[in-house]
Chains A and B, each alone.
Chain A
Amino acid sequence: MDEVKGALTAAHRHEWARVLAATVRVAGDIDLAQECAQDAYVSALATWRLDGIPRTPGAWLTTTARRKALDSPRRAAALRARIPLLMEPGGPAGSRANNTVASPSPETQLTEMDDIPDDRLRLVFTCCHPALAREAQVALTLRLVCGLTTEQIAHAFLVSEPTMAARVTRAKKKISGARIPYRVPDPHELPERLDAVLTAVHLVFTAGHTAPTGDSLVRPDLVDRSIELCKVLVDLMPDEREVRGLLALILLTDARRMTRVNEGGQLVLLEDQDRSRWDRAAIERGRGMVLEALRGGRPGRFVIQAAIAALHAEAPRFADTDWAEIVDLYDLLLDTWPSPVVALNRVVAVGFRSGAEAGLQALEQLEADDGPALSTYHYLPATRADFLRRLGHDQAAAAAYRRALALAQNDVERAFLEGRLTTLTTS
């Protein structure tokens, strides 16, 4: 019995997206597809105990889910009402000529035992459609592509379950109400649409790497999902350099996971981390991907970010960091991605390359240009505070730390900022 449960858990982890995506195409409706997919897993629990675990669990689950969808009276009703997602009639011999709601014959559907990679891509691109709010894109991707429950997603983002459930429901209603199509974007739309997908996956990673709120710095469940998602994307789109760039960025950044918080639960800065405990295998893999992705023309923003991460990862000690090169890469990044947050990161690098005074000047320039956009971003006053501290302007630094504390919401980061403030005000 344990064996069956184990096989099902593994099948859920690895096959959920495939099963759901293939079922959406038959069901023509996300909710119906989800139910049928879930039912297939429930059926498996009973059937596999009697008949044994199938050789290809994914195919078994997909066929079962699709059969349930085809047989469902709700599918017939949905088709009659012309409400569901438009589907591209797919399949090896299927015609893509007309974008009608009717799908190919059930027999053709059921004999397609193989995984059509496009199905999962369709699902990902639909979840990350620009007509959906960013939060909704992330929630939907985690729910539909990763198969997390709403409770797990709510917990990861530290909102209540009803709030997260409502967010997912609204997003699904938008998809069906506004008729967001279930398709992979055309080549000319792909760069922009792919950027949205990568941004959503990156958001999952950053929310896991440094949780915005709560009592722990890292949420490993989110980090792991972002890595899995990214690997799936690399498999599905092997020629897209930006996808590899994102995976490299995630691997290189996550390599530091074990050293970012000490045994007492306190934040450990990059300069103080024990580099011998960084994940060297991940770093090597990441560096390899960056070097490969840098070939062949102008790099996109994820490849550039990965290159910056690689420079940090390969410095044997903090003091060996090539800050000049990092600042140059930030200049390149700003060209492609003129974001105030990127500009702030660049300011930090300038501070290390040329000293705190130069950093402070660059920071003041940034505040003049983009102050309002960063008004709730605690890293801005924290950066200012650090420059002022390094220059010995204790009172001004303390004021800046207070400002940062007013905005910071993660307990581990707050404890660090409070520590800095205490040192300044008691010495």
Chain B
Amino acid sequence: MAQYVVLIYESESEYANAAPEVYGQIMDAHNRFAEQVVERGGKVAGGNALQATDTATSIRGDVVTDGPFVETKEALGGFYLLEADDLDQAIKMAKMVPARFGGVEVRPVMVFPAA
């Protein structure tokens, strides 16, 4: 099995303007996601929601600034570390990650050759 990180990018303003019940729906969806991954023979090895980009701090060299590294329309809001046999399986699982206000990026974790 190989490891993939799924990065969740979503519009923070759409999130903020959403009706209260939406949060509950999204939490439920994330809980369901973990079950669905197991059902499909994969594994969730880690993951977390991140606090909003206005809590971010960026550092370039010695300079510390307020805010995310890159200002994007859709901000990085969370991630999952998944185990899958190949990209097809990873994509199948990534499609199930709740991300209604944006989308996800799937990135393979670096494999360093055994010595």
- Chain A contacts to B: CB under 8 angstroms: 80-83, 86, 99, 129, 131, 177-181, 183, 185, 189
- Interface of B, helix, strand, loop or mixed by DSSP: mixed
Nearest-CB residue, chain B, relative to A85: B86
Shortest 8 CB-CB contacts between residues of A and residues of B: A181-B86, A81-B113, A179-B86, A178-B87, A178-B108, A180-B87, A86-B86, A99-B85
- Find out whether the CB atom of A81 lies under 8 angstroms from the CB atom of B87: no
Contact with A along B80-95 (1 / 0, CB 8 A): 0000011110010000
- Interface of A, helix, strand, loop or mixed by DSSP: loop
Residues of B within 8 A of A99 (CB): 85-86
Q: How far does the alpha carbon of A131 sit from the alpha carbon of B88 in the complex, in Å?
A: 9
What are 28 A-B pairs with beta-carbon distances under 8 A? A80-B113, A81-B111, A81-B113, A81-B114, A82-B111, A83-B113, A86-B85, A99-B86, A129-B87, A131-B87, A131-B91, A177-B108, A178-B87, A178-B106, A178-B108, A179-B2, A179-B85, A179-B86, A179-B87, A179-B108, A180-B86, A180-B88, A181-B86, A181-B87, A181-B88, A183-B88, A185-B88, A189-B88
Residues of A within 8 A of B108 (CB): 177-179
- Find out whether the CB atom of B85 lies under 8 angstroms from the CB atom of A80: no
State how many residues of chain B have any CB contact under 8 Å with chain A: 11
Nearest-CB residue, chain B, relative to A131: B87
Q: How far does the alpha carbon of A131 sit from the alpha carbon of B87 in the complex, in Å?
A: 9
Shortest beta-carbon distance from B101 to chain A in Å: 23
Q: A81-B113, A81-B114, A178-B87 are in contact. List 18 more A-B contacts (CB 8 A).
A: A81-B111, A83-B111, A83-B113, A86-B85, A86-B86, A99-B86, A131-B87, A131-B91, A178-B106, A179-B86, A179-B87, A179-B108, A180-B86, A180-B88, A181-B86, A181-B87, A181-B88, A185-B88
Shortest beta-carbon distance from A81 to chain B in Å: 4
Shortest beta-carbon distance from B84 to chain A in Å: 8
- Chain B contacts to A: CB under 8 angstroms: 2, 85-88, 91, 106, 108, 111, 113-114
Residues of A within 8 A of B85 (CB): 86, 99, 179, 181
Shortest beta-carbon distance from A126 to chain B in Å: 11
Shortest beta-carbon distance from B6 to chain A in Å: 13
Shortest beta-carbon distance from A29 to chain B in Å: 13
